[in-house]
Amino acid sequence: MNSDNKKLKKIVKNSILPVLSFTLFLGTVCYLNSQNYGLALEYNGEQIATVSHEEVYEKANHMIMDQLTADGKSKVESKYSQIKLVPVNSADCCESPSEIKNKIIENSQDIFVEACGIYADDKLIGVGENEESLRKMVNEAIEEQKQLNPDKNIDIMENIEFKTGFFDPDDVESNVDLKNYLFNETEKELKYITSENETVSSIAEKFDVSEEVIREKNDIAGDKVMPHDIIMIMFKDSILHFEISQTIEEEVEISFETEERANNSQYKSWSKVVREGENGKETFTYEVKYDVHGRELSKTELSHAVVSEPINKIIEKGTKEEPEGFLWPVPYTHNITSPYGPRWGTIHRGIDIAAAGVLGTDIIASEGGVVEKAAHGSTGYGNHVVIKHAGAYSTLYGHCKELCVSAGQKVTKGQVIAKVGSTGDSTGPHLHFEIRVNGKQDNPQKYI
């Protein structure tokens, strides 16, 4: 590990530039132009080839140049041995440019070798033996990540390219070293200048690092930092980054709407839910991308589909204008058998409504309101309903055969609330009807 680190440091320091440029050679070539002579190419003090003309050598040189993955020159220039062209008898000529090229390469193994560079977003990040071995190394790293995330798709965030060319042999790494160097996270340091209103915790959140480490590293006691302070931030990072993606489905409810329908046979205060609403369902499919720490990088909608449409709620509402005042409570008959007032030595505090055949006919709410009481009983009023109206009014309906409403229920003017009966203290089927003002009975005939 230690030696790996050293080597990596060396790579970083040299910023691994491909070996470059024979420009220096050109400067030292002895210029000679004679038909009677060929030129011998001296390289590293050895005669390695002969050329008929300087241009042949230049062609070879260009061929090499074309294979150099250019970036910087200064590093390598000092390493080159000098090339000299010396005149020889033209009869001993001559090699072709490609032969010259191969000979220079053969004799330059200590300066440059043919190898393959791996580039991330156009930046050289490592050099390996050849493209095939580099691709294998990258695939192995992806496979290892797949083992850790079995049902997910693994990719590399950076755009990776491989380019074969000539590199400094010292920069060519083994696959094992390269894989560690490119994919393992190492401790990195960053100088951060604080701005107004920042704190240790906000900076920690921003860089996704621990507050403790920031405090320790920068010798800060609390949460407070001054603006324009330089803060050292330690974080872990790798050269290449895995992108782990997954397709997920999310279910979302679609809210139902409420439709209103007019009912012209009912009063305006009347309404009825004809159909209850039901929410629909929709599924969204997303591709979510994470880094190796599970941090979400992106979320893209791939598709969505309605699973079930919502069912709208339908409410019927009455449109008829409300009649003024109290309604007559028994539509079947308007016959009063016993009016409000003194009766048999006491006071009859309501009116009795009856006629032959009235038993079991409708009793309607004389005015809209809320049912205060819907009581069953065999004494006094018997089965009876009390409705509280707006203002200080309430109405009572006694001796009912059956009740159609219950306490707390809202009723509209004219709604059927009970059936005429003879329960409680009653001598025959009739409705005992009271109107109360502030709880005190008054003569209903004053109001109807």
Nearer to Zn ion, 165 or 382 (CB): 382
* SS3 label, residue 429: coil
Residues 6 or more apart in contact with residue 95 via CB below 8 angstroms: 49, 50, 51, 56, 103
Per-residue contact string for residues 353-392; x = within reach of Zn ion by CB under 5 A: ----------------------------------------
Binding region for Zn ion (CB under 5 A) out of 5-13, 163-171, 365-373, 432-440 = 432-440
Report, in Å, the least distance between residue 344 CB and Zn ion.
11
Report, in Å, the least distance between residue 335 CB and Zn ion.
13
Of 343, 350, 405, give the one whose Cα is nearest residue 381.
Answer: 350
Nearer to Zn ion, 180 or 426 (CB): 426
Looking only at residues 305 through 324 of this chain, which bind Zn ion when binding is defined by CB under 5 A? none
Q: Residues in the chain, how many? A: 448
Nearer to Zn ion, 156 or 336 (CB): 336
Rule CB under 5 A: say whether 434 interacts with Zn ion: no
Report, in Å, the least distance between residue 430 CB and Zn ion.
7
Q: Are 100 and 29 in contact (CB under 8 A)?
A: no
Among 289, 389, 432, 436, binds Zn ion (CB under 5 A): 432
CA distances from 357 to 26, 245, 430 (A): 130, 80, 10
Closest-approach residue to Zn ion (CB): 432
E strand intervals along 82-158: 83-89, 113-120, 123-128, 153-156
Nearer to Zn ion, 37 or 340 (CB): 340
Report, in Å, the least distance between residue 426 CB and Zn ion.
8
- Convert 273-307 to b/e letters by CB count within 10 Å (16 or more is b): eeeebeeeebeeebeebbebeeeeeeeeeeeeeee
Nearer to Zn ion, 223 or 425 (CB): 425
Give 356's DSSP letter: T
Nearer to Zn ion, 95 or 434 (CB): 434
Looking only at residues 200 through 259 of this chain, which bind Zn ion when binding is defined by CB under 5 A? none
Binding region for Zn ion (CB under 5 A) out of 167-175, 241-249, 321-329, 352-360 = 352-360
CA distances from 264 to 52, 200, 267, 269, 320 (A): 112, 69, 8, 12, 6
Q: Are 439 and 372 in contact (CB under 8 A)?
A: no
CA distances from 279 to 91, 258, 276, 292 (A): 97, 11, 10, 38
Rule CB under 5 A: say whether 436 interacts with Zn ion: no
Report, in Å, the least distance between residue 316 CB and Zn ion.
36
User: How far is 77 from 353, CA to CA, in rounded Å?
Assistant: 123
Rule CB under 5 A: say whether 352 interacts with Zn ion: yes
54-67 and 97-106 are packed helices; what angle lies between their axes, rounded to 10 degrees?
Answer: 60
200-207 and 211-218 are packed helices; what angle lies between their axes, rounded to 10 degrees?
Answer: 120
Nearer to Zn ion, 279 or 337 (CB): 337
Report, in Å, the least distance between residue 374 CB and Zn ion.
19
User: How far is 79 from 109, CA to CA, in rounded Å?
Assistant: 12
Report, in Å, the least distance between residue 341 CB and Zn ion.
11
Report, in Å, the least distance between residue 431 CB and Zn ion.
8
Nearer to Zn ion, 183 or 397 (CB): 397
Structure tokens at 111: 């300066």
Nearer to Zn ion, 97 or 380 (CB): 380
Binding region for Zn ion (CB under 5 A) out of 51-59, 160-168, 288-296, 427-435 = 427-435
Binding region for Zn ion (CB under 5 A) out of 28-36, 181-189, 238-246, 345-353 = 345-353
Report, in Å, the least distance between residue 422 CB and Zn ion.
12
Q: Which is it for the CA torsion 342, 347, 351, 354, positive or negative? A: negative
Strands 351-353 and 336-338: antiparallel
Binding region for Zn ion (CB under 5 A) out of 196-204, 289-297, 320-328, 350-358 = 350-358
Residues forming the site for Zn ion (CB under 5 A):
350, 352, 432
